[in-house]
Amino acid sequence: MSDSAAGASAKPSALLEAVELTKRFGALVANDHVSLAIRAGETHALLGENGAGKSTLVKMMCGLLQPDSGELLYDDAPIMFPDPATSRAKGVGVVFQHFALFDALTVVENVALGLAGHEPLSALAERIRDCTVRYGLAVEPYRRVGELSVGERQRVEIVRCLLGDPRVLILDEPTSVLTPDESENLFRTVDLLTDEGRAVLFISHKLDEVRRLCHRATVLRGGKFIAEVDPKVETSSSLARLMVGAEVPRTPREVTHELGTPRLLIKDLNLVGDGSRGSALHDINLEIRAGEIVGIAGVAGNGQTALFEALSGERPASDPESIVIDTVPAGGLGPTQRRALKAGFVPEERLGHAAAPDMRLSDNVLLTTHGDGEIVRAGVVRHSVLNARFAEIVKRFDVRFGGKDPKARRLSGGNLQKFVIGREVLREPVLLVVDQPTWGVDAAAAGFIRTTLRQKAAEGCAILVISQDLDELLEFTDRIAVMCEGHLTAPVPVGETSREAIGLAMGGSQGGDAGTGGAHGH
């Protein structure tokens, strides 16, 4: 169907066009005379490394940021959007990379805030449920947003945007926290929209999906326009080369190494859903040994957040023996005590959970390192040591930003992700629990993060990775378990399972157990 759309309109008119947009943040030029035309009936990809300026461009195209120079054309006429409300009213819908939802409100209340009309909430809730059916993006209208995981919030944002009935739909990395099935549903929706003559701008670091879905691609590098290409004739590696300006190394498949003693033992872990935050966990059992990476797949909102918080110590378990870190019963310990056992944690939500948005990056280093004894002595922060660590994270993990030490909020999504991963890895943990390790990082950086984690495993670290990205889990974990409705299946070695078996288990069928059975049969 996408072929017909592209073929029928050889020279479709531009709905929304950016002409020579420039945006500076202090000395940093985030967008340098960037032009881009989103055409009716087309899906246009915007590609570039972390910090290339993609989100900045999007923000200017909807009025969240004002360009320093250049102009916007809407239906070929110059236009100025003073704010996103105006552009939304004119039919430009945006799903931002960092969500703009109010935690204290329910899904339907959040959606109502974004719409201008005065529709009764019950009617709106009905429409949201319709969306669930029509677009295959499950959203429960009366849940409080604060309880939702990142993947669920992403679905809410997309549904909210679609309900506004936009002519131009801009999606800033929508698929990085969706499962393959959800992404598939989203692609179908996007195809439907373009078939109706609407226009879509699509940002993603997953080049395979870009090549499948998009009719045109604009590549940015260092804030500059590099090329406009046809992604269907490019290969993933030629696109990556355009983005990076150099050859991108593949993640090396790891060499096998001996597994050591169990670093993490979860035994009959149960958590009661406390209503306001997180769901319940039922009889979770898992063992991770030094040197291995275990992945947890599953649709967001099936208890992954609760599991993460139970492991990090934010939600202590009632039975101390239910979580054992390096032979120490840790179920009743708080986060700092668990870190003292050389455990490290990276939550999925970067802004507000992994990092304090309005504090400087160097101060955010302290967030997880304050118990390590080196940076804080006798309760006093040693700023020279802290700054040295900060510089090391930035250097080793190639965190790029404008200025010397900006607030965490000012970093591009992928760069902040590299920062929070680097912060944990440099603590030299023996157990690492990572939720969504490569959310929003570009292909090169994602490869780097995976390689680093593999390397850590080879050095004897036990790693638990929670991810909605099944391909990622298949690529670099040793065993995969599936989380569904608070239950965890027994992990299966990657070589002995398949996308299909895992997909079935994610849906909650007995397929997961069948997969386990298969493993035993081997």
Partner 1 sequence: MAIRLERQETVPPLGLIAAPLLALLFTLVVGAVMFVLLGHDPLRAFTIYFIEPLTDPWTLQELVVKACPLLLIGIGLSFCYRANRWNIGAEGQYVVGALFGSWLALATHGTDAGPWVLPAMLVLACIGGALWGLIPAFLRVRFGCSEILTSLMLVYVAQLGLDYLVRGPWKDPAGFNFPQSVTFDAVAVVPLLMEEGRMHAGILIALVAVAAATFVLGRTLIGYSIELGGSAPRAAAFAGFDERRVTYGVFAVSGALAGLAGIIEVAGPIGQMQPSISPGYGFTAIIAAMLGRLHPVGVLVASFVLALTYIGGEAAQISMRMPFDVTRVFQGTLLISILAADVLVRYRIRRVEGASHA
Ligand X SMILES: Nc1ncnc2c1ncn2[C@@H]1O[C@H](COP(=O)(O)OP(=O)(O)OP(=O)(O)O)[C@@H](O)[C@H]1O
Query: Which residues form the interface with partner 1 (CB under 8 A)?
Result: 25, 59, 64-65, 82-83, 85-86, 88-89, 91, 115-117, 164-165, 312-314, 334-337, 339, 345, 347, 352-359, 363, 366-368, 370-371, 376, 379-381, 383
Q: Which stretch binds ligand X (CB under 6 A): 52-60, 113-121, 292-300, 466-474?
A: 52-60
468 is a contact residue toward ligand X (CB under 6 A): no
Report how far residue 160's alpha carbon sits from residue 152's, in angstroms, rounded to the nearest whole number. 12
Residue 265 has phi, psi (to 5 degrees) of: -130, 115
Calculate the alpha carbon distances from 229 to 151, 174, 373 in Å: 30, 22, 52
Q: Which of residues 88-107 bind ligand X (CB under 6 A)?
A: 97
Q: Which residues contact 58 (CB under 8 A, 6 or more apart)?
A: 46, 94, 96, 170, 172, 201, 203
Report how far residue 51's alpha carbon sits from residue 409's, in angstroms, rounded to the nearest whole number. 13
When the beta carbons of 390 and 401 are compared against ligand X, the nearer one is 401
Q: Identify which of 521, 484, 514 has the alpha carbon closest to the alpha carbon of residue 498.
A: 514
Q: What angle do CA 45, 413, 112 make, to 5 degrees?
A: 80
Q: Which of residues 394-453 bind Mg ion (CB under 5 A)?
A: 412-413
The entry of partner 1, ligand X, Mg ion, none near residue 183 (CB within 5 to 8 angstroms by kind) is none
Looking at residue 450, its amino acid is R
Q: Which stretch binds ligand X (CB under 6 A): 49-57, 123-131, 145-153, 193-201?
A: 49-57
Q: Identify which of 398, 393, 384, 466 has the alpha carbon closest to the alpha carbon of residue 432.
A: 466
Q: Which stretch binds ligand X (CB under 6 A): 2-10, 25-33, 78-86, 264-272?
A: 25-33
179 is a contact residue toward Mg ion (CB under 5 A): no
Report how far residue 215's alpha carbon sits from residue 412's, in angstroms, rounded to the nearest whole number. 26
Number of residues near ligand X (by CB under 6 A) = 23
The residue within the footprint of Mg ion, chosen from 2, 31, 43, 55 (CB under 5 A), is 55
Minimum distance from residue 54 beta carbon to Mg ion (Å): 5
When the beta carbons of 85 and 272 are compared against partner 1, the nearer one is 85
Q: Which residues contact 120 (CB under 8 A, 6 or more apart)?
A: none
When the beta carbons of 169 and 492 are compared against ligand X, the nearer one is 169
Minimum distance from residue 122 beta carbon to partner 1 (Å): 20
Report how far residue 354's alpha carbon sits from residue 440's, in angstroms, rounded to the nearest whole number. 15
When the beta carbons of 23 and 339 are compared against ligand X, the nearer one is 23
Binding stretches for Mg ion (CB under 5 A): 55, 97, 412-413
